[in-house]
Amino acid sequence: MQGIKGLDSSLIPPCWRTMEQKILRTVYVNSRWQNTADANCSKLNVEECGWELNERLEPVWFKGDPTPLKVDGVLKYIENIVSNDELNELKYLNNLNDVFSD
């Protein structure tokens, strides 16, 4: 870690919630380009495609809580996803890692 002098944050991929909104905006813009010859080129609802309409179009960056989960929330989330057998296996592997790292 000492050799790292800086980090270009543009290289970090966006989280799924942000990526979803970017994809929706791309679909909307693409739809407008595909229908430019039509009198009504906007076939999609702009507010369902990653944009907010407040006198002008503003991008929706993500939907939901912007703050990260607390550690307890993450643990509960993991317990809901991972079955007990998988959780026991993870605990076993973690204990092995502790034994061999000393």
Could you read off the pLDDT of 84-102 as tens digits, one per residue? 666 677 776 777 666 556 5
**8-44 confidence digits (pLDDT tens):** 777 777 778 888 889 999 998 898 898 888 888 888 8
Where in the chain are the domains?
A: 12-64, 68-102
Q: Within a 13 Å sphere around the CA of 39, how many CA atoms are in the beta-carbon half?
A: 0
Ranges of H-type helices in 1-102: 16-34, 71-81, 84-101
Cα 61 to chain centroid distance, Å, stands at: 10
CA distance 1 to 7: 11
pTM given for the model: 0.54
